[in-house]
Structure 1
Amino acid sequence: MTINQCSKIGRVFKISISPQKGQKKMNIPVATIRQGCGIDGDAHSESTRPLSLLPLESFAKLWHPRLQLNPGDFAENITTVGLDFSQFAVGSRLMLGNSIEIEITQIGKICHNGCIIRELAGDCIMPREGVFAKIISGGELKEGDPIRMVSSYDYA
């Protein structure tokens, strides 16, 4: 296992929260992210997967005429642009904005029964392209903030 220092840069496109699990997420322009927790006001902030991220570019892979997808519709907290999470491994660390450091703890998830996106489109991207993270250091995050990969793990 080796650690690679990288400088891949993306951006925060949208930030989304929901006060209760199972509710549709709403977009907010600014969020406070707490170390060891997640986003203030989000129901998942104190769960085992306190922060979820999904690239906006993934939305185009799931086009369907009966489906209009928006940031937060996959229950992701942060919709990103310019980052390909398939290049990351569990243990990779990202810097969001000026002070928030996160560590990827899980790649993908099992789609829940009754997933309306899977029912309409026949597929869902979150199980393959979404990532979950824990918060190493917190701070304020806003739309447009940079996201930089600070380290990644190679399991070769």
Structure 2
Amino acid sequence: MEGKILAVNISEKKGVIKTPIDEGYFKIDHGLVGDAHAGNWHRQVSLLGIESINKMKALGIEGLCTGKFAENLTTEGIVLYELPIGTKLQIGETVQEVTQIGKECHVGCAIFQQIGSCIMPLEGIFTKVLKEGTIKPGDTIRVIE
């Protein structure tokens, strides 16, 4: 199973829309360097497929783009939320392990306030970094285990 990275997104504060960057460095036991959600916990990196974003667009919600749902990595070609926890992914130079599917959306989330709905709690996934390195748009994302 293989897909690609469409965007690498970062924010300095939690609960806000992330901004696309040219490339990101992902550290072991940390996540994306400079991102508000990074740290030594099980949700170091968040991923959301463009397919999920397109579902929201199909509902008539306008102005959606990469980073709008506060995802670090916007992907294409893999149904992320169907991957079992423990799945290992080769993403760019990194290796990451799926640690959580979906999340509870916190009240007052800027994404929900601006868009009126959020797909991240249902279809976003979270990983921890096992092998560090750089990820940039166009990189391959591949299931390795």
User: Considering the TM-score relative to the shorter chain, is it more than 0.5?
Assistant: yes
Can you give the 5+ residue segments of structure 1 that lack an aligned partner in the other structure?
Answer: 1-7, 152-156
Q: Give runs of ≥4 in structure 1 deviating > 6 Å.
A: none
Distance 1:123 1:32, change over 3 A: same
Match of 2:105 in 1: 111
Distance 1:113 1:47, change over 3 A: farther
Match of 2:39 in 1: 46
What's the offset of the Cα at 1:86?
3.1
Match of 1:5 in 2: none
Match of 1:28 in 2: 21
What's the offset of the Cα at 1:111?
1.3
* Distance in 1, Cα, partners of 2:139 & 2:94: 11
Match of 1:150 in 2: 144
Match of 2:118 in 1: 124
Match of 2:87 in 1: 92
- Whether 1:69 and 2:64 are equivalent positions in the alignment is yes
Q: Secondary structure of the residue that 1:57 maps to in structure 2?
A: helix
Segment of structure 1 superposing worse, 57-66 or 35-44: 57-66
* Distance in 1, Cα, partners of 2:11 & 2:125: 18
The structure number with the bigger radius of gyration is 1
Q: Secondary structure of the residue that 1:59 maps to in structure 2?
A: helix
* Distance in 1, Cα, partners of 2:21 & 2:27: 16
Using the aligned pairs only, state the percent identity.
40
TM-score (norm 2): 0.89
What's the offset of the Cα at 1:122?
5.4
Count of residues in correspondence between the two structures:
143
Q: Is the 8 A contact 1:66 1:120 kept in 2?
A: no
Q: Is the 8 A contact 2:2 2:142 kept in 1?
A: yes
TM-score (norm 1): 0.84
Q: Is the 8 A contact 2:46 2:124 kept in 1?
A: yes
Q: Is the 8 A contact 2:15 2:111 kept in 1?
A: no
Q: Secondary structure of the residue that 2:53 maps to in structure 1?
A: helix
